[in-house]
Amino acid sequence: MEIVYVYTKKRSEFGRQCNFSDRPAELHVDILPDSSLAANFTVRDPCNVTIQCADEMSEHEVNTERFESESRGINHVEGGWPKDLNPDDMEATIRYRKKVEKDEHYQNTIMQIAGLMEHCIRQNNATDIYEDFLEDEDEEDVEESEEQPSAKTINVFRDPNEVKRTATSLSWHPDGNHKLAVAYSSLEFQRAPNDMNFDSYIWDIENPNKPEMTLKPVCPLVCLEYNPKDSHILIGGSYNGQIAYWDTRKGSQPVEMSPIEFSHRDPVYKAIWLQSKTGTDIFSASTDGQVLWWDIRKMSEPTERLVMDPTKKGNIDNSLGAISLEFETTMPTKFMVGTEQGLVVSCNRKAKTPAEKIVCTYSGHHGPVYALQRNPFFPKNFLTVGDWTARIWSEDIKESSIMWTKYHIAHLLDGCWSPVRPSVFFTVKMDGTLDVWDILFKQNDPTLCLKVCDEALYSIKVQDNGRFLACGSQLGTTTLLEISSGLCSLQKNEKALVSEMFERETKREKILEARHREMRLKERSRSEQSREDEMKETDGEESVEELVARAEKEFFHIIENERMKERNEEKDKDQEKGVCEEKDFQEEHETNGVSSFVRTEISL
């Protein structure tokens, strides 16, 4: 029902002044009750009304402003000198001092208190009253008492930009460990917002408010590493495949970048410094399937290249995307590459032909191998982290890992060994938890499981002293944690026990491998036997394609038969139902051809 009141005014009267006057009320609209509408409503009886008799409470959140502190020094000026004396004037001060020394009162006082002082000094020299008499006993106690493993957060470094990026890689400063270089980028393909900042930062761990230095690359960095020999040089691998190196003494711009034509075609996921006389060699890996070697003095082209082709033909189309690298300075000729496809490839640097470069592969992961590291105490064993597990391998056993964690709910994104304890390693997961594993203590579960933040943790790096570790998250928050001393001090017999454990597991795997091989041999010989019998029936061995074609033909044949059968059944039903329904039924059949086939199978 539309109620309209029309107000008209002549155009010539527009703009005239308003002249207000009184007039009696006019009734414009009168809507009378319409009892026919009552038919649309029913009386609701009873009515449910909820009442609560409780204290009224409200929730209120207050967030204080982030407190930024800065350390500053104050310069003290020497004071206390009498007004007429200039403290810088050496002679005047000496004269003043001499004057004081001549004073009788001074001398008396000094004699007095000097006597007291001498007494105390002699006392100190006689016995050390604060000596640790129970030191030896304490040590024994500590060994027996089981300190609860724990970790606490020391500092949190947040990405200062508005648009948060993932902290994809961390690198500790090689001397002193007071600085942490963090590479920021967005790993989500093409989802990086336009105004995302490309910078990566070097943080001083004492100051979480502001990064100590900014590195400004041309494209966001995915990985960043300090040169272990020269702490001023860093290399970074960027999202567009280029490699760049920085010298912190020379500023925020990269000193040199590799040209795009010769760089990787995919983000450079890992770049490591090599052991060399000049200390300027690096190698990098990317998911485009190549591992490139560079000398940073001449970044115009890579010194060497290796295509990760498992068939050893150097065919880049077949290659596996490399996503992690491993290089141990004690074994300079070998290196390992972790691939996106879940294989770990062990390579030899000194091989003459590219085919010989790839020595062997280890398979076991279902997804990309995000982290790969040899145990610093037992280089024959290495840790890989990928998909939902972390696995420990022995170099000799290529078929499977010797130890592995259970399948977790969240993906594991990074991991590393502790540099001080051979049995401890750390992993970080997609749900923001950090797990500390001690394989001598417990193998099924992590010894310590910490929830660091709510978003995924992408990277973790342990400091060389094994006590501090930093982990970077999806929103660019890097957390610095200190772990309890129990987890970073070498226990007695630990090395022996760990090596025993690794050997035991290796032996077990070897035995299993041998058994598998036996079984396979038996199978093969049996199948060969049976195939010889079959040969009289079929014409020799059929190739794969022929088999497939035959299977397809049989399959379609069976479907056709079923369809015909059903159509015949329908024609019978037709006589009962109408034409439309038949059509619907047929259409349904044609679309559900296979399912109807299955249906009849079951009924049979």
Partner 1 sequence: MKEYCAATRTHGGRSTPDLSDMAEVEDTLKRIQAQHGVIGTIVVNGEGIPIRTTLDNSTSVQYAGLLHQLTMKARSAVRDIDPQNELTFLRIRSKKHEIMVAPDKEYLLIAIQNPSE
| Positions in the binding site for partner 1 (CB under 8 A) | 76, 78-81, 96-97, 100-102, 104-118, 120-122, 124-128, 130-131
Least Å distance, CB 142 to partner 1, is 20
What is the spatial distance between Cα 306 and Cα 327, in angstroms, rounded to a whole number? 15
Annotate 351-405 with DSSP letters as a single string.
-SSHHHHEEEEEE--SS-EEEEEE-SS-TTEEEEEETTEEEEEETT--SS-SEEP
CB 160 within 8 A of CB 211: yes
Considering the complex, state which of residue 127 and residue 333 has its C-beta at the smaller distance from partner 1.
127
Structural Rg of the chain based on CA atoms = 39
Considering the complex, state which of residue 66 and residue 102 has its C-beta at the smaller distance from partner 1.
102
Considering the complex, state which of residue 124 and residue 586 has its C-beta at the smaller distance from partner 1.
124
Least Å distance, CB 113 to partner 1, is 4
Considering the complex, state which of residue 64 and residue 75 has its C-beta at the smaller distance from partner 1.
75
Residue type, 487: L
Considering the complex, state which of residue 108 and residue 485 has its C-beta at the smaller distance from partner 1.
108
Residues sharing a CB contact under 8 Å with residue 101, sequence separation 6 or more, in sequence order: 107
Least Å distance, CB 116 to partner 1, is 5
CB 334 within 8 A of CB 302: no
Specify which residues 509 forms β-bridges with. Answer: none
Taking the CB of residue 437, how many other CB atoms lie within 10 A of it?
25
Least Å distance, CB 79 to partner 1, is 7
Least Å distance, CB 94 to partner 1, is 11
Specify which residues 221 forms β-bridges with. Answer: 238
Considering the complex, state which of residue 117 and residue 564 has its C-beta at the smaller distance from partner 1.
117
Considering the complex, state which of residue 97 and residue 442 has its C-beta at the smaller distance from partner 1.
97
Least Å distance, CB 155 to partner 1, is 24
Residue bearing tokens 């088999």: 547
Retrieve residue 303's tokens: 């010194």
Taking the CB of residue 467, how many other CB atoms lie within 10 A of it?
19
CB 136 within 8 A of CB 436: no
Considering the complex, state which of residue 94 and residue 163 has its C-beta at the smaller distance from partner 1.
94
What is the spatial distance between Cα 341 and Cα 321, in angstroms, rounded to a whole number? 7
Least Å distance, CB 70 to partner 1, is 23
CB 390 within 8 A of CB 401: no
| Residue-level length of the chain | 604
Least Å distance, CB 107 to partner 1, is 5
Least Å distance, CB 138 to partner 1, is 17
Least Å distance, CB 121 to partner 1, is 5
The helix (H) or strand (E) run that includes residue 25 is none
Considering the complex, state which of residue 34 and residue 78 has its C-beta at the smaller distance from partner 1.
78
Least Å distance, CB 75 to partner 1, is 11
Q: In degrees rounded to 5, what are phi and psi of residue 602? A: -65, -45
Least Å distance, CB 127 to partner 1, is 8
Q: In degrees rounded to 5, what are phi and psi of residue 534? A: -70, -25
Considering the complex, state which of residue 46 and residue 80 has its C-beta at the smaller distance from partner 1.
80
Retrieve residue 185's tokens: 């980028």
Taking the CB of residue 441, how many other CB atoms lie within 10 A of it?
18
Considering the complex, state which of residue 134 and residue 604 has its C-beta at the smaller distance from partner 1.
134
Give which of 390, 355, 351, 354 is closest to 369, Cα–Cα: 390
Considering the complex, state which of residue 56 and residue 131 has its C-beta at the smaller distance from partner 1.
131
Q: In degrees rounded to 5, what are phi and psi of residue 219? A: -145, 145
Considering the complex, state which of residue 106 and residue 556 has its C-beta at the smaller distance from partner 1.
106
Least Å distance, CB 110 to partner 1, is 5
Considering the complex, state which of residue 79 and residue 540 has its C-beta at the smaller distance from partner 1.
79
What is the spatial distance between Cα 308 and Cα 358, in angstroms, rounded to a whole number? 8
What is the spatial distance between Cα 240 and Cα 502, in angstroms, rounded to a whole number? 40
Q: In degrees rounded to 5, what are phi and psi of residue 583? A: -60, -45
Least Å distance, CB 80 to partner 1, is 4
What is the spatial distance between Cα 324 and Cα 268, in angstroms, rounded to a whole number? 10
Q: What angle do CA 362, 364, 369 make, to 5 degrees?
A: 85
CA distances from 231 to 178, 181, 247, 400, 507 (A): 12, 11, 9, 38, 42
CB 465 within 8 A of CB 420: yes
